[in-house]
């Protein structure tokens, strides 16, 4: 990959992070680890994250609490659970709450890379609805909370999401209203 992948990892098991870094080396991962809800809140608001990983039953911040925070803020960041086998019921609950994937710790070598690829691809896809300013036509990227909102020009938004390149010109209707250049 050509760009660093920024990952926020809510875990109370630092050994897991080393393993994940090795598995995702082709993504040039930069991982910030958090263990408490306070740390998670500080990090979630401080930067653009490509992915969030979380366990279930962490001492300081449970994965379901992290997922509730992310979805409650309408953040469009994929969240993948990396957890011990807690049973099918827990995995189903994770998906119902909006998790992007659920990878078992004992199968992380086999399942994490495909889960990350799916999540990143889905994140680049366009949402069902895009909030756009009626006046300047910029696109809102970060949910309803005004203090967290980021407004982006449409060409920058679509270039980042879809990898499109833009060129600019003037359409014939607009050209007729312009004064000729001397």
116 and 139 in a single domain? The answer is: no
In this predicted structure, the answer to whether residue 40 has a pLDDT above a threshold of 70 is yes
Residue range of the domain that includes 104: 5-124
138 and 167 in a single domain? The answer is: yes
**Residue 22, in any domain of the structure:** yes
- Which of 36-40, 142-146, 149-153, 163-167 ranks highest by mean pLDDT? 36-40
In this predicted structure, the answer to whether residue 85 has a pLDDT above a threshold of 70 is yes
- The answer to whether 166 touches 131, Cβ cutoff 8 Å, is no
Q: Stretch 47-62: mean pLDDT, rounded?
A: 85
In this predicted structure, the answer to whether residue 123 has a pLDDT above a threshold of 90 is no
Quote the number of domains for the chain.
Answer: 2
Residue 8's DSSP bridge partners are 32, 52
**Residue 182, in any domain of the structure:** no
120 and 135 in a single domain? The answer is: no
Distance (Å, whole) CA 118 – CA 136? 33
Lowest mean pLDDT among 73-77, 142-146, 168-172: 142-146
Token pair, residue 119, equals 């999540």
Say if residue 58 is exposed, middle or buried (CB neighbours under 10 Å; 0-12, 13-18, 19+). buried
In this predicted structure, the answer to whether residue 32 has a pLDDT above a threshold of 80 is yes
43 and 108 in a single domain? The answer is: yes
Which has more confidence, 64 or 46? 64
145 and 57 in a single domain? The answer is: no
11 and 44 in a single domain? The answer is: yes
Helix intervals (H) in the chain: 14-23, 37-44, 63-72, 88-96, 108-124, 154-162, 172-176
In this predicted structure, the answer to whether residue 1 has a pLDDT above a threshold of 50 is no
Distance (Å, whole) CA 5 – CA 51? 8
Say if residue 32 is exposed, middle or buried (CB neighbours under 10 Å; 0-12, 13-18, 19+). middle
163 and 116 in a single domain? The answer is: no
101 and 27 in a single domain? The answer is: yes
pLDDT of residue 157: 83
What is the domain-level CATH number for residue 39?
A: 3.40.50.2300
**Residue 181, in any domain of the structure:** no
Distance (Å, whole) CA 16 – CA 83? 10
- Mean predicted lDDT score pLDDT of the chain: 84
In this predicted structure, the answer to whether residue 170 has a pLDDT above a threshold of 60 is yes
């Amino acid at each position: 990959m050509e760009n660093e992948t920024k990952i926020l990892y809510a875990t109370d098991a630092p050994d897991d992070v080393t393993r994940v870094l090795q598995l995702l080396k082709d993504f040039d991962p930069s991982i910030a680890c958090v263990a408490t809800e306070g740390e998670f809140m500080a990090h979630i608001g401080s930067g653009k994250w490509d992915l969030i990983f979380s366990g279930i039953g962490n001492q300081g911040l449970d994965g379901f609490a992290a997922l509730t925070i992310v979805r409650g803020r309408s953040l469009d960041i994929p969240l993948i659970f990396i957890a011990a086998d807690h049973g099918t019921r827990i995995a189903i609950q994770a998906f119902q709450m909006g998790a992007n994937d659920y990878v078992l710790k004992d199968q992380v070598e086999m399942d994490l890379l495909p889960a990350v690829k799916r999540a990143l691809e889905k994140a680049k896809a366009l949402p069902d609805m895009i909030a756009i300013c009626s006046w300047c036509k910029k696109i809102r990227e970060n949910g309803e909370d005004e203090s967290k909102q980021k407004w982006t020009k449409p060409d920058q938004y679509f270039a980042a999401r879809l990898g499109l390149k833009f060129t600019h010109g003037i359409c014939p209707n607009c050209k007729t209203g312009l004064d000729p250049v001397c």
